[in-house]
Structure 1
Amino acid sequence: MRDVAGSRTNGALTGGAIRIRGARVHNLRSVDVDIPRNKLVVITGVSGSGKSSLAFDTLLAEGQRQYIDSLSVYARQFFQQRERPDVDRIDGLQPAVAVDQSQGSHSPRSTVGTITEVHDYLRLLFARAGSMACPECDQPITQQSSSEIEQAVAALPVDSRAMLLAPLIHGRKGKHAEVIETARKAGFVRLRIDGLAYPIEDVPELTAQKLHDIEAVVDRIVIREGIDTRLAESVRLAIKHGDGVVRIVYQTPEAKAAAATSGANGAAAYNAQSGWEERLFNTRYACPDCKVGVAEVEPRTFSFNSPYGACPGCDGMGVVEAFDPELVVPDLSKSLAEGAVAPWRSATDAGRKKRFDIVEPLLTSLKVTIDTPLADWPRGGVQKLLTGDGKSFAGVLLHLEEERLATKKDDARGKLDAFRDAIRCPDCEGTRLRPEGRACRIADQRIFDVGAMPISEATQWFAGLVDGAAFEADRLPIAEPLVREIHRRLAFLDKAGVGYLTLERSADTLSGGELQRVRLATGVGSGLVGVMYLLDEPSIGLHPRDNDRLLDAIRDLRRQGNTVIVVEHDEEVIRAADWVIDIGPGAGARGGYLVAEGTPTDIAACAESVTGRYLSGAERIATPTERRITTRLNGKAVATCPEPTLALRGATLHNLRGDDFELPLGKLVCVSGVSGSGKTSLVVGTLARALARKLSGAGAKPGPHTALEGVEHLDRFVEIDQSPIGRSPRSNAATYTGVFDEVRKLLAKTKLSRQRGYKPSRFSFNVQGGRCDECQGQGQRKIEMNFLPDLYVTCDACRGARFNRATLAVRYKGLTVADLLTRPLEEVLPLFTETPAIHAPLEALVAVGLGYLSLGQPANTLSGGEAQRVKLAAELGGSSKGGVPARTLYLLDEPTTGLHADDVRRLLGVLGRLVDAGATVLVIEHHLDVMRVADWIIDLGPDGGAGGGRIVAAGTPEHVAAKGTGPTSEWLGRALGG
């Protein structure tokens, strides 16, 4: 083990090692460290000490850079080039794979199934081993004979015009010159390409990057007597060249006349607008009742990211943006005159009368007036108000859609958009797929049925398919390996603690910890050996009960012959490590040293290590001797909530069971429960949204609930999440908290500034005049290096100061504006003791453990936990300036993310200050130290997914530990010393 001075107290490492020499990335102080290979290694230390700089910005960056450098110059242009980290040497480096907390670029199209690639295996399984049914009548699909195809064509109305087509290419990229040439040699004189017919000698050159459909025109006929022989020959020829598939494009006499009247007719316009219709016949797949042919299914038939599988109504999203009936009619007890139809509320009197005139026919037919409460309307009256009566009244929803389309002003459109929401697609009922993809089954389950199962349930279902009894004998050789691979991946996901998730769950709704564990499944499923995996706090979002399952999953990676390096603060994970590297001893400029390395026992014995002192028990977060709430232990798991309270009743979003959620105000309240128990659904998806709408009249639609009571006790609601405080390098903690405005005012009041006539804007790097013109206030210039990484060099003019020489001549207490922006907060704090508008926010930033940051540190370099603490400090600093946060509810979702135990102690002190000032602080948290310090705990469970959604305990920590029935009670009892 090494301390800060570099002494070694344990024996040399055995086996191979990754040797780092002279690492100086960010705040690392020329660190030398050996990391044992094929072991579970934890890098720990206080927040900002340099852990991520060592793991990700040094090891990962160099591993990826070396890999990219091994590629050809041509291949390198397709990768983001990585700059070589500032390190003397790294020996023994393995190929690096990072599984971090970043959400990346996941869109609502990304799901748990697509991230883990399980959905790809599912698509292949259903395409090759599924049983098709008719999309219309759900009957099993049978083969169609050529005679049945002939009869169907001959049954068209007399004088109908028809084209018999043989599909050659369907939805494939390329120029397809060889296909066109083959058709020419086969004697075809016409082709239909992407819906348009061409003489084969006039076929245009196709764009290689676009998807194309190519069909040979076998025959063009008019339906009348005496064509049987010709039709039979044409059908036979189409079946031969179309590989069993025949497409008929026809136009009835009536459709032809209608098209001619509308002017839509045309020789090449074979589409619905010109009266042409299509039918597909397949000698392999057809419904015996509907006589409808179905194209042979392919893996893309089951892809909602492909135009050949996605529902056309919602483009594969499963939801559509439309006016939500519940938002348009929020209160059935009111009449139309009182504004029960919400978009009418803001209308002028003249506009309101005009709009009510639209519904007058409906009111007359229902025998009601605008003064009649909607609850007193005849049965079905409100539905008619919304969707119309099918006769004289088209419906409010349709009227609103038309008004929105006609509205050109953004503000007017924005008011209408407040009543729109994502609702389930009526065409695919939220399944995202076309009818063909919804009609295929395996063991009576469709692909979206499997996607809707919790992963733990899906794992069991696939375990039942492993014996192959659900498949026909000719399909078993294809199905068996696919089933085994899917089961293996699902089993790992369940083992990693996310068995409550479903494969259809959108990736952008996952927490950082959930997403990281989902990505782990892909890493294990790849079967790689000799790889260095880097994980960033994988325990985030996990209840202590599930830590063992996560550790087993991580050990699986190690057992495969990989090195697993984990950046982590969780005590259990640290104790489970083979080797621990402690970086510190402090944060920022006070960190960046190798404090200690060795086994967990070695670290606990190191007096210089803050981590070691918490491991040994020398330091710990104390349990309060007195709480803000005293509850007599009764025989009930849910104690009586003290007044005043905020109550959410009947919440049923996702797996919630409608239990009453009562929150004591003016206290520190913790919502706990195992992963998937319903915490986020209850607090974020329902309570936060309902509260925001009550207090501000706007916001996203909350989950279903029956009532929200006690809002009159609150004036403000603030959700402090981990989203970035700014995405531009010009944004920073100083601009976010408003401190920089006050600093610029101070600089403008100095004697030299007054003499030169400088205004506060002179000291802004976003405005011309005071900033450096060469780098536009960036402090550095980017030099593009073609196939090498872009090179950033310090600006020659300002030498990184970001301001010009005249501006830098102005000093406040001996420091220029550049000095103030680059010094750590804890260093500049004493300079502003006489300026409360600056001192209070800076003091709050230091109090939440961010004293190591500089005023000008770009916002896009802050972690999610740091961004959350900046927001918290902004609130705390505001209260210090006189804005008492009383009657304010603060919501924080897992605020201990990225925090060392010593930083958690600081955070709890800050939260306590907010509560003492009169605010209510509500946290969603698993951290046992937070639960021990909380005034009140509301525990959900008892399990995740379908086994959760109930409030199993509520009360003080002591009450929950003694009376609760879920796993939280057991773990909390241990933490309290019970």
Structure 2
Amino acid sequence: MKQRNVSIRGARTNNLRDVDLDIPRNRLVVLVGVSGSGKSSLVFDTIAAEAGYQLNETFPPFARNRLPKWTRPDVEHIEGLTPVIVIDQRRIGGNTRSTVGTITDAWTYLRLLFSRLGQPHVGESNRFSFNDPAGMCPTCSGLGEVVVSAVERFLDLDRSLAQGAIRLPGFGTGNYWYAQYADIGVFDADTPLRQWSPSEREALLYGGQAAAGLGRKPPRGYEGIVERFERIYLHTSDNLSERKQGVIRQFTRARTCPECAGDRLNKAARTATVLDHTIGEMSRLEINELVRLVRTITSVRVAPVVTALTARLEAMSTIGLGYLTLSRATTTLSGGESQRIKTVKHLGSSLTEMTYVVDEPTVGLHPTDVESVIKLLERLRDSGNNVLVVEHDPAVMAHADQIIEVGPGAGAAGGQLVFQGTFAQLREADTPTGRALAQHRPAKLTPRPATGSLTVADVSRNNLRHVTVRFPTGVMTVLTGVAGSGKSSLADELAAQHQATVIDQKPVSTNRRSTPITYTGIAPAIRRLFARHNQVPAGLFSANSDGACPDCAGLGVIHTDLAFMDGQEIVCETCHGRRFTPEVLAHTVNGLSIADVDDLTVDQAMAQLPDAGISHALRQLGAVGLGYLRLGQSLSTLSGGECQRVKIAKELRQAEQPTTYVLDEPTTGLHPNDIDTLLHVLDSLVDQGHTVVVIEHNLDVIRQADWLIDLGPGPGRHGGTILFEGHVADYTSRATPTCQALTHGGPAAAARPR
């Protein structure tokens, strides 16, 4: 008899508390709950992990060693599992050679097309690959860009050499390289560079003929600053240290390759055309436009190629990525874009009875774009698959066949099944999500007055063309618009022109030793507290240093390599997972050892650790709703939303002078109940004199903005225009996506019965 459910009994992974649950198969099931409630522990760390583990066990040992490793969950019994496919939010990896075309295989089909139909004939498909020596541009090695010195950043013209006019490291007063310019009798070391003649500044930077023409002959072998910098930092084959890489990032910029103009290909590949377009020109067309062009190819010789390429391009259009181009680097994609790219290869799959586990697929999407994601999820379900979605968006909940809520709280206060049923039933339920669905935040009627403004002038970046925008200071501005409309490009320009601090979606470092307190910089203060109270060196209280258990090196666990079998990780028998030597654990503060402190939650530590500095720093973690985290909890166990808030807490702790903050979708991973906590944090920043600019799609956050800037109307070349600047309450009766969403959207609208 066919198993109709996925049956789970006694799930105890992470914070789950003996959860018993039956999940219907071949349905769209949405899991909800506050951040940290245990949703991910149930879906990813229990269901997906057990399915992955059991599937791997069917392969021989040699193959298993090359498959992704799954840690078997703490659960008494699971049955009814099918092979699992996890589609998470992690940005697509790869380097600058990875593009939308290469990651989706669309570029492979396009290369094949040009190798068969291109005129003049160039050769096989590898001749159109920028990752193959046969096809790559020799000047940029297939990158499309070359790194050049940002010479305009080298000098501070308002200072003299003696005052540090040369900004490059190692050129300060008294250093060796400084002496090569200030002490050679050619330049005036005490006069600000702005008062030098243009030829003197040219000689300082470039040497050569400019230096020879000064009349004061420089010493033999004289190098200009630019030549010296490029020799040391750019023209070297040595492995560069992190410090040198930082210097390169600071004092260089990428410039389009002068030979291939960004096409990445050599001259022969750039000459071939199909339908009067080179392959580079096709790669720069928006996917929606490219698919229309490809459909016009009628040659029977390449009919299978055209069919495959068209199907791949249409799939990207279907999931709302038609505004991208195949030449777009994957490193520039947002988390939401990366996630949807990953789904492309599954849309045409003929496999059934798979379990798709999808993590917040609406991240990075404007409310008007959510419908396309819902259709995608329903399409996967209707193909005979199980679809499990972790989501906070009410619009997705409204289309679920069943909703499961985990909670009621976060961390130790969560991990229980608090609701299972339909969306209509959830709206009536007395649960955190049920109550949140009943809330509706009106637009702010009395916006705070600005203290000034920051102007970003004549911006031409990506799809922005000569855009000028004024950002009011001392208030909260929300930048919104459909995905791909130009929000991030405008925010990047604001950060570049006005030295704003950016809190973006890049992942928090999640190595096994990284914890909330080490990442936010609180750990040294805790070690000093123990050192003061016990009159011993602070290094004893570091699990990475003197006081670490010698057998597990301060990890608390021992990893055993079992060759072709999965490695085994067990609790260290010497320290029993406490990570420190007995001598270190004997030192206490208020009866707590350093290991006991690791087990405290943020809220408990604020009450029990007698140090005002530590309490002040921990308050920032509590302020962003992370008071339930244990101080020693590995960041690798945190959800995406929790990691994002740890990063915000770190920035809040360092905020002293008035600063401009740019936050990239801070509601990522947040339950509707947590929006009030986030808004309170943002309001606190503004109250302290900071300027806050938020890129956001969440309508509740948009409604609380003091100032709104809306871009669009569409993505890519259909966007890049400022549609509105002003107070949210004044944004009415406009036929724009955001205005329509504000007028007709939100949780109340999304919660309408189906």
Pair in the same fold by TM > 0.5: yes
After TM superposition, the score normalised by the length of structure 2 is: 0.88
- 1:81 equivalent in alignment to 2:104: no
Shift in alpha-carbon separation, 1:504–1:525, aligned structure 2, 3 A:
farther
User: Counterparts of 1:330-479 in structure 2 under 5 Å?
Assistant: 348=178, 351=181, 371-372=197-198, 401-402=230-231, 418-465=250-297, 468=298, 471=299, 476=300, 478-479=301-302
Q: 1:672 aligns with which of 469, 477, 480?
A: 480
Shift in alpha-carbon separation, 1:416–1:896, aligned structure 2, 3 A:
closer
Deviations 1:683-730 (A, max 9, x none): 12x2212323xxxxxxxxxxxxxxxxxxxxxxxx42223434434322
Is this contact kept in 1: 2:161–2:182, CA < 8 A? no
Q: Distance in 2 between matches of 1:871 and 1:433?
A: 40
Shift in alpha-carbon separation, 1:27–1:111, aligned structure 2, 3 A:
same
1:814 offset after TM fit, Å?
Answer: 3.1
1:623 offset after TM fit, Å?
Answer: 4.7
Shift in alpha-carbon separation, 1:324–1:836, aligned structure 2, 3 A:
closer
User: Counterparts of 1:848-867 in structure 2 under 5 Å?
Assistant: 848-867=624-643
Q: Distance in 1 between matches of 2:71 and 2:152?
A: 53
1:412 offset after TM fit, Å?
Answer: 9.0
| Partner SS state of residue 693, structure 2 | strand
After TM superposition, the score normalised by the length of structure 1 is: 0.68
Q: 2:407 aligns with which of 564, 570, 584?
A: 584
Q: Distance in 2 between matches of 1:876 and 1:857?
A: 21
Q: Distance in 2 between matches of 1:959 and 1:839?
A: 42
1:777 offset after TM fit, Å?
Answer: 1.1
Q: Which piece of structure 1 moves more, 76-85 or 642-651? A: 76-85
1:850 offset after TM fit, Å?
Answer: 0.8
1:865 offset after TM fit, Å?
Answer: 3.0
Residue 760 (structure 1) aligns with: 538
1:562 offset after TM fit, Å?
Answer: 1.6
1:796 offset after TM fit, Å?
Answer: 0.6
User: Counterparts of 1:123-134 in structure 2 under 5 Å?
Assistant: 123-128=111-116, 130-133=117-120
Residue 688 (structure 1) aligns with: 495
- 1:504 equivalent in alignment to 2:332: no
1:397 offset after TM fit, Å?
Answer: 6.4
Is this contact kept in 1: 2:644–2:668, CA < 8 A? no
Residue 502 (structure 2) aligns with: 719
Q: 1:575 aligns with which of 385, 392, 398?
A: 398
Shift in alpha-carbon separation, 1:590–1:337, aligned structure 2, 3 A:
closer
| Partner SS state of residue 498, structure 1 | coil
Q: Distance in 1 between matches of 2:168 and 2:596?
A: 53
1:528 offset after TM fit, Å?
Answer: 2.6
Q: 1:788 aligns with which of 556, 565, 588?
A: 565
Deviations 1:486-518 (A, max 9, x none): 222212211212211111111111111000011
Shift in alpha-carbon separation, 1:658–1:71, aligned structure 2, 3 A:
same
Shift in alpha-carbon separation, 1:15–1:621, aligned structure 2, 3 A:
farther
Q: Distance in 2 between matches of 1:62 and 1:386?
A: 66
| Partner SS state of residue 388, structure 2 | strand
User: Among the aligned pairs, what percent are the same residue?
Assistant: 39
Work out which structure has the larger RCO, using CA pairs closer than 8 Å and 6 or more positions apart in sequence.
2
Q: Distance in 2 between matches of 1:812 and 1:960?
A: 56
User: Counterparts of 1:306-325 in structure 2 under 5 Å?
Assistant: 306-324=132-150
Q: Distance in 2 between matches of 1:413 and 1:794?
A: 38
Q: Distance in 2 between matches of 1:480 and 1:500?
A: 25
Q: Distance in 2 between matches of 1:781 and 1:413?
A: 34
Unaligned stretches of 5+ residues in structure 1: 1-13, 134-140, 142-293, 358-368, 630-641, 693-716
1:737 offset after TM fit, Å?
Answer: 2.8
Shift in alpha-carbon separation, 1:301–1:627, aligned structure 2, 3 A:
same
Q: Distance in 2 between matches of 1:58 and 1:776?
A: 29
- 1:553 equivalent in alignment to 2:376: yes
Is this contact kept in 1: 2:359–2:389, CA < 8 A? yes
Aligned-pair Cα RMSD in Å = 3.5
Residue 949 (structure 1) aligns with: 720
Residue 593 (structure 1) aligns with: 416
Return the letter of the residue paired with 1:873.
A
* Count of residues in Structure 1 that have an aligned counterpart in Structure 2: 722
Q: 1:967 aligns with which of 723, 737, 745?
A: 737
- 1:118 equivalent in alignment to 2:106: yes
Is this contact kept in 2: 1:337–1:371, CA < 8 A? no
Shift in alpha-carbon separation, 1:302–1:353, aligned structure 2, 3 A:
farther
Deviations 1:607-640 (A, max 9, x none): 1x2111122x1x44565453214xxxxxxxxxxx
Deviations 1:422-452 (A, max 9, x none): 2222232211122332232221122222211
- 1:543 equivalent in alignment to 2:366: yes
Is this contact kept in 1: 2:606–2:619, CA < 8 A? yes
Is this contact kept in 1: 2:441–2:703, CA < 8 A? no
Residue 276 (structure 1) aligns with: none
Q: Distance in 2 between matches of 1:109 and 1:121?
A: 17
Return the letter of the residue paired with 2:134.
Y
| Partner SS state of residue 269, structure 2 | helix
Q: Distance in 1 between matches of 2:561 and 2:232?
A: 49
Q: Distance in 1 between matches of 2:167 and 2:41?
A: 52
Q: Distance in 2 between matches of 1:771 and 1:63?
A: 36
Q: Distance in 2 between matches of 1:974 and 1:613?
A: 20
Residue 669 (structure 2) aligns with: 898
- 1:302 equivalent in alignment to 2:132: no
Shift in alpha-carbon separation, 1:861–1:412, aligned structure 2, 3 A:
closer
Q: Distance in 1 between matches of 2:224 and 2:261?
A: 22
Structure label with greater radius of gyration: 1
| Partner SS state of residue 650, structure 1 | strand
Unaligned stretches of 5+ residues in structure 2: 188-194, 215-222, 750-754
Residue 733 (structure 1) aligns with: 516
Is this contact kept in 1: 2:65–2:566, CA < 8 A? no
Residue 457 (structure 2) aligns with: 649
1:325 offset after TM fit, Å?
Answer: 6.2
Deviations 1:350-379 (A, max 9, x none): 61697989xxxxxxxxxxx962599xx9xx
| Partner SS state of residue 88, structure 1 | strand
Return the letter of the residue paired with 1:132.
Q
Return the letter of the residue paired with 1:966.
T
- 1:823 equivalent in alignment to 2:593: no
User: Counterparts of 1:32-47 in structure 2 under 5 Å?
Assistant: 32-47=20-35
Residue 611 (structure 2) aligns with: 835
Is this contact kept in 2: 1:80–1:789, CA < 8 A? no
Q: 2:354 aligns with which of 522, 525, 531?
A: 531
Is this contact kept in 1: 2:324–2:716, CA < 8 A? yes
Q: Distance in 2 between matches of 1:54 and 1:765?
A: 30
1:303 offset after TM fit, Å?
Answer: 1.7
- 1:869 equivalent in alignment to 2:645: yes
Is this contact kept in 2: 1:961–1:968, CA < 8 A? no
Deviations 1:911-959 (A, max 9, x none): 1111111111111111101101111111111111111111110111112
Return the letter of the residue paired with 1:443.
L
Return the letter of the residue paired with 2:404.
I
1:668 offset after TM fit, Å?
Answer: 1.0
Shift in alpha-carbon separation, 1:341–1:738, aligned structure 2, 3 A:
closer
Shift in alpha-carbon separation, 1:105–1:941, aligned structure 2, 3 A:
closer
Q: Which piece of structure 1 moves more, 402-411 or 429-438? A: 402-411
